[in-house]
Amino acid sequence: MRSVALIQIVAALVPTVFFALIGFIPGSLVAFMYLLIAIGTLAGVRVCWAICPLMPLGAVALLGPVVLYNFYLYFSDDPLYLDSPGTVLVVVIPAVFVLLPAVVVLALLVRNWRSYVQVVRGAAA
């Protein structure tokens, strides 16, 4: 589970830096809170392990449909994307910096589900 905790730190650090660079303060604060939770998982704090899936789930739930819809518009030759091809960057950048790390963390948690449940219940450290 230590590898999952390290991946979570990287997955939390990427959106924190991204939101800070673009000046989006609420996103930076949420991402920073996730970074603190990820550091807590590395330290073995059970409460941090218990709430660590919430941030990636929130990112996937909030950003996933938007990214999928915009990719659908792009590949179906919507006039918005035909007139200005740079518009796709507005979708790709958050998808890479926010959605992709969240999906990786969730995939790792699902892959190590039994170990995750044991850590949350306190049976293993």
pLDDT of residue 81: 83
pLDDT grade, residue 12 (50/70/90)?
confident
Q: Show the 3-state SS of 75-110.
A: HCCCHHHHHCCCHHHHHHHHHHHHHHHHHHHHHHHH
pTM confidence score = 0.81
Task: Identify whether the C-beta of residue 14 lies closer than 8 Å to the C-beta of residue 47.
Answer: no
What is the distance between the alpha carbons of residues 115 and 125, in angstroms, rounded to a whole number?
9
Q: What is the mean pLDDT of residues 24-42?
A: 86
**Residue 98 phi/psi, 5° resolution?**
-120, -50
What is the distance between the alpha carbons of residues 62 and 8, in angstroms, rounded to a whole number?
19
Question: What would the two tokens of residue 114 be?
Answer: 């039994």
pLDDT of residue 107: 92
Residues 43-83: tens digit of each pLDDT: 989 999 999 999 899 889 988 999 999 889 888 988 888 88
Overall domain count for the chain: 1
Residues 96-125: tens digit of each pLDDT: 888 898 899 999 999 999 988 998 988 654
Task: Identify whether the C-beta of residue 38 lies closer than 8 Å to the C-beta of residue 12.
Answer: yes
What is the distance between the alpha carbons of residues 5 and 108, in angstroms, rounded to a whole number?
10
Provide the terminal-to-terminal Cα distance of the chain, rounded to the nearest Å.
9
The residue segments making up the domain with residue 26 are: 2-121
